[in-house]
Amino acid sequence: MARVAIWVSCVLLLAATCQGLKYGYYSRSCPPAEYIVKSVVGKAVRMNPGIGAGLIRMAFHDCFVQGCDASVLLDPTPVNPRPEKLGPPNFPSLRGFEVVDEAKAVLERVCPGKVSCADIVQYAGRDASFFLSGYKVNYPLPGGRLDGRVSLENETLAFLPPPFFNLSQLITSFKVKGLNVDDLVVLSGSHTIGRSHCSSFSDRISTPPSDINRGLATVLKKQCPANPTFNNDPTVVQDIVTPNKLDNQYYKNVLKHKVLFNSDASLLRSRQTARKVVENAFIRGRWERKFAKAMVKMSLIEVKTAANGEIRTKSCRVVN
């Protein structure tokens, strides 16, 4: 029933982007496809949980720019020297490219030319969520996305919400992509895992202080330079309580003002979003279920068709 419900929501909410997508998409053309991706991701996450956080973030960053089409993976070329991965929101902080490369290499040996890089990115985000949550976030994901041929650095600034956005700006940026306020609050919960550069929140620990918890601000000041630069911009964990676990601790941190970004703190600045924060913090299992649903919904953004997409065969880093 869960698969049916998600597919129905896909048809009703994002019919135009669901064309060609279905569950078990590779059941005939490449039966082990999802298993292969999950195996590669599991190995990487066991070695370094931070890579898993990077893969979840990559799924989000890919979908918000040019849709879920693996455009974030493309390397610079003479024709296109400034692709998405060099945009300020992605470089140098976005991680996990080597995991996608490894999964693609295995898939090309087993099923040449069958599995798109766009699907690998979304499967990898799903599988990283599964391992980092202690197997609590587990959901089926439709496949059949095609890989895009366009990747532009300047679009990362236009579509990826930065950490200093206020609530109104966040809601607008999500609405543009067909996502609602609940999706915003739920997907923000991914900040319970991974690390952040000091430059992303340095304004919140400067003088005069923001609403950030004083104890946390004191700790962060010891870890971060007063004026971070590109060459001196350390990283810190985003969740000081359970830094390597994908869970609902983020929402408890929001309520205690122990979060890094203005975008995190802004969730308390309306009754609607503050109520959702409380529900995700204290209703057992609610956030995990909602996160799975929101990740599926996000994975359907602006999916490419045969007219403007392809399946990259040589590498996820170059168009055919």
d(CA 191, CA 251): 10
What DSSP string runs through 50-109? HHHHHHHHHHHHHHHTTSSSSGGGPPP-SS-SS-GGGSTTTTTT---HHHHHHHHHHHHH
* CB-based contact 51:96 (threshold 8 Å): yes
According to DSSP, residue 230 is labeled: T
Instruction: Choose the catalytic residue: 61, 191, 197, 257.
Output: 61
CA-CA distances (angstroms) from residue 37 to 51, 53, 124, 141, 276?
14, 16, 6, 13, 33
CA-based nearest residue to 273, from 188, 196, 212, 198: 188
> Known catalytic residue: 61?
yes
Phi-psi region of 67 (alpha: psi -120 to 50; beta: other; left: phi over 0): left
d(CA 29, CA 32): 9
d(CA 128, CA 64): 19
* CB-based contact 125:59 (threshold 8 Å): yes
Phi-psi region of 310 (alpha: psi -120 to 50; beta: other; left: phi over 0): beta
Q: Which residues are annotated as catalytic?
A: 61
